[in-house]
Amino acid sequence: MGPARHLALLPNLACETVIWPVPFANGLPVLVGLRGRKVVALASGDPFWFGAGSVIARALEPGEWCALPGPSTFSLAAARLGWPLEQTACLGLHAAPLSRLRPHLADDARIIVLLREGDAVEELGRYLTQIGFGASDLHVMEALGGPREKHTKISAQDVDKISFSHPVCAGIMAHGADALSLTPGREDTFFDHDGQITKAPVRALTLAALAPRPVEHLWDIGGGSGSVSIEWVLSHITLRATTIEAHPDRAARIRENAAKLGADRVTVVEAVAPDGLDALDAPDVVFVGGGLSQALLERLWQLPPGTRLVANAVTLESETLLAQWQADKGGDLLRIELTRAEPLGRKRGWKGAYPVVQWSVTL
């Protein structure tokens, strides 16, 4: 059982063959329906590196399958390019948005990406050009490891001049200047917002207090621009976030910011907290950036012990509320006051932002 392209590479088979249908998920019931028979499922290279392996394994019982991996496309591409895999970002974009590239793009960065089909190469070049990386070198490799193997080097901005065939991948030697920082507190200009945004310095301190760890799930209540959720998931590939935002316009803006910055592991829920929280997957960490209230804190205090909570307050009322809860429940209370040098007549002076009170506590 396998794609028609794979089956065509095995002529004169005496056994029964089944073409894996499209979309891929439709083939799983067919495969499971063959249970009790000896079945071979064909997949390219190493099926457990951005491949079908884990999906198929989840559909079967432990012990009723075994895998025989071959060299991955990433290994073959690195062998052609002479790139060290441990210093090269490897992304599967055949079933994911191209924007996942965004956090990895920096001048002279090396990236190998799997692509859906030949036409996707042009989409890749157009995307890189639109975000200021059109001068990047693309090493487009078709049918790696087979008799049709072909390697074409071209700049991203010129890629629409050539047609490419599936299966295809691309090695990117990035050239551009607008790279995302690796640390939280990225410039506010990367986020579209209406003024409701946790500013970069406070965001850096907030992410430090949230202390993301692998595989954790964040609730971001009062998402605003989504900057905290987005920086949370950019911290590690296994992190995910659910942003709760009451205003439809802001919720739409969060989705756009997340898509633009390659943070598609951010889920947006339009609700007024604490309403709507019961239907969500339980969090490991909660951030309250807006909508702070007595009712919300009482609801959050019902979460499992060990859940971490960070809440930011700007108004006197919300600051008082956090001070009362910290006195009763413990945790750390931090007052953040920032001033920035700005023009003052013909000279300069310090202009202060509203102070932020931050409460961090483990339930």
pLDDT, one tens digit per residue, over 280-308 is: 999 999 999 999 999 999 999 999 999 99
pLDDT at 349: 95
pLDDT at 213: 97
The pTM (predicted TM-score) of the whole model is 0.89
pLDDT at 5: 85
pLDDT, one tens digit per residue, over 307-358 is: 999 999 999 999 999 999 999 999 999 999 999 999 999 999 999 889 999 9
pLDDT at 306: 97
Task: Find out if CATH 3.40.50.150 is the number for domain 188-362.
Answer: yes
pLDDT, one tens digit per residue, over 95-119 is: 899 999 999 999 999 999 999 999 9
- The H-assigned helical ranges of the chain are 4-7, 27-32, 53-59, 73-81, 119-130, 200-210, 227-234, 248-260, 294-300, 316-329
* Separation CA 362–CA 239 (nearest Å): 19
* Separation CA 20–CA 23 (nearest Å): 9
Q: Which of the residues in the chain have pLDDT under 50?
A: none
Locate the domains of the chain by residue range: 4-59, 73-173, 188-362
pLDDT at 12: 85
CATH architecture of structural domain 73-173: 2-Layer Sandwich (3.30)
Rounded to 5 degrees, φ, ψ at 23 are -70, 165
pLDDT at 276: 86
pLDDT at 350: 94
Return the H-helix or E-strand segment holding 164.
none
The number of residues in the chain equals: 363
Residue 50 corresponds to which tokens in the numbers above? 């951005």
Residue 40 corresponds to which tokens in the numbers above? 């071979």
Residue 181 corresponds to which tokens in the numbers above? 């920082």
**CA 71 remoteness from chain centre:** 26
**Residue 144: Cβ within 10 Å count:** 23
